Amino acid sequence: MDLKTPVLADPIPINKSRLGIHSSLLSYSPPRTVFSRGLILSIPRKKNGVLDDVRSSSWLDAMKSSSPPPKKLAFDANAELDSSDTDIAYRTWMLKYPSALSSFEQITHFAKGKRLALFLDYDGTLSPIVDNPNCAFMSDDMRSAVKNVAECFPTAIISGRSRDKVYEFVGLTELFYAGSHGMDIMSPAKNGVLSGHPKCIKSTDKQGKEVVLFQPASEFLPMIEEVFTSLVEITKGINGANVENNKFCVSVHYRNVDEKDWMTIAQRVGDILQEYPRLRLTHGRKVFEVRPVIDWNKGKAVEFLLESLGLSGCDDVLPIYVGDDRTDEDAFKVLREGNRGYGILVSSVPKESRAFYSLRDPSEVMEFLKALVAWNRSNLL
Ligand SMILES: O=P(O)(O)OC[C@H]1O[C@H](O[C@H]2O[C@H](CO)[C@@H](O)[C@H](O)[C@H]2O)[C@H](O)[C@@H](O)[C@@H]1O
């Protein structure tokens, strides 16, 4: 698809390319803007996506910067000058990743006459980041915004959580759910789009309704169970550590662990992972994520869903993906590389990304969803 984005509403010089998009929006390139130290979240990473050895000091740096501090702390702890520095850095960063709200007209101008498909991450996108992963509830307002948008466009939630857990939080039957970073895809009960797929299986959901599932990592289930048990065991003595079973992945949270114990937890997790060459370790927001070494991620899940919905390879389709985390970058990449659609990064701090646009936090995500619904309704008049 040719993303003929109209003129950008920000002062970035417009590239005279065929697409009329600034070159930085066409192909991924490292940001040219220099931000103050500590504002860029970077994680040491090898080319294959696996993090460097867990014992290296770069891990500790990555752990420290892996989730932005709550805004209040970032502003209170330092002098006024720091907060205005932060603001300037954020506004400068937004030149490269304009707000999807202030660019809304531009987005809908391009979306006119196209079929939209919406992909939403859960934690940090639909619900704010909280200390206790079991309490990451979404608000009723957000739920109704998601429900309304799903009535207008095919909508999927793609999360690192287990599919059951994210379904429990969201509780809407009309959506597609992809848990375990896209390794556990379920189509809505009344929508049979996955039924014809050769690798899909029929199952029943918690309410006993028939559902269709796609689980490309199913053979890893016993291994994940085993590593989950070991991780629970080795983190028992570390105050605040929390191991979450996400079915085809495991999360080891250190958000509530005292910083002096971060190296210990990283080392213990690394030691266990040594025994599992078919599992890999990645790093999210104050969390280590253990997952199978298979060629599958949130980007692949987006491609799979688009194909299953018959929306792949069509010029009149515009997929939009909204997410806040490193794992969402795989989806942003798929949309950007194929010039297929828009990635929207949710972040309150400058971050390097493959997204096109940005939103500051879940409340802006909700505004954006509401705006999409209003725009769709106005088109029907
Ligand atoms: O793909 P996502 O839906 O963004 O899931 C990624 C991880 O999200 C959850 O952890 C994050 O949110 C927690 C609740 O706000 C927070 O306490 C934690 O520090 C964050 O990393 C979830 O618990 C993980 O299992 C997911 O992998």
Atom 21, ligand 1: residue with shortest CA distance: 285
Distance CA 41, CA 310 (A): 37
352 phi/psi in degrees, rounded to 5:
-70, 135
- Give exposure, 303-327, as e/b (b: 16+ Cβ within 10 Å): bbbbebbebbeeeebbbbbbbbbbb
Q: pTM to 2 decimals?
A: 0.84
Catalytic position from the list 82, 121, 131, 205: 121
Predicted-assembly ipTM surpassing the 0.85 threshold: yes
Q: Choose among 311, 374, 373: nearest CA to 152.
A: 373
Distance CA 171, CA 187 (A): 14
Distance CA 358, CA 353 (A): 10
Helix axes 221-235, 262-274, angle to 10 degrees: 150
Helix axes 104-111, 362-380, angle to 10 degrees: 40
| CB-ligand 1 contact for 240 (6 Å cutoff) | no
Which of 146, 180, 242, 285 should be mutated for ligand 1, with most atoms under 8 A from CB? 285
User: For tokens 């860029």, what's the residue?
Assistant: 40
Q: Strand 201-204's sheet: what is its strand order? A: 201-204, 210-214, 184-187, 176-179, 155-158, 115-120, 317-323, 342-346, 357-359
Distance CA 282, CA 298 (A): 14
Burial label for 84, CB within 10 Å (0-12, 13-18, 19+), is: exposed
| CB-ligand 1 contact for 352 (6 Å cutoff) | no
Interval 287-335: pLDDT, tens: 999 999 999 999 999 999 999 999 998 999 999 999 999 999 999 999 9
Interval 104-133: pLDDT, tens: 999 999 999 999 999 999 999 999 999 999
How large is the C-alpha radius of gyration of the chain?
21
What is the Å distance from ligand 1's center to 327 Cα? Answer: 11
**Angle formed at CA 207 by CA 202 and CA 210, multiple of 5 degrees:** 20
Instruction: Say if residues 174 and 208 touch (Cβ distance below 8 Å).
Output: no
Q: H-helix or E-strand containing 285? A: none
Atom of ligand 1 at shortest range from CA of 166 = 3
Atom of ligand 1 at shortest range from CA of 325 = 4
What is the Å distance from ligand 1's center to 241 Cα? Answer: 14
pLDDT in tens, the chain (381 residues): 545 332 222 222 223 232 223 232 233 333 333 333 333 333 344 444 444 566 566 777 778 777 765 544 443 444 445 678 888 999 999 999 999 999 999 999 999 999 999 999 999 999 999 999 999 999 999 999 999 999 999 999 999 999 999 999 999 988 999 999 999 999 876 666 777 777 888 888 777 888 889 999 999 999 999 999 999 999 999 999 999 999 999 999 999 999 999 999 999 999 999 999 999 999 999 999 999 999 999 999 999 999 999 999 899 999 999 999 999 999 999 999 878 999 999 999 999 999 999 999 999 999 999 999 999 999 887
**Angle formed at CA 145 by CA 202 and CA 326, multiple of 5 degrees:** 70
**What DSSP line would sit under 91-157, residue for residue?**
HHHHHHS-BTTTTHHHHHHHHTTSEEEEEE--BTTTB---SSGGG-PPPHHHHHHHHHHHHHS-EEE
> CA end-to-end span of the chain, whole Å?
27
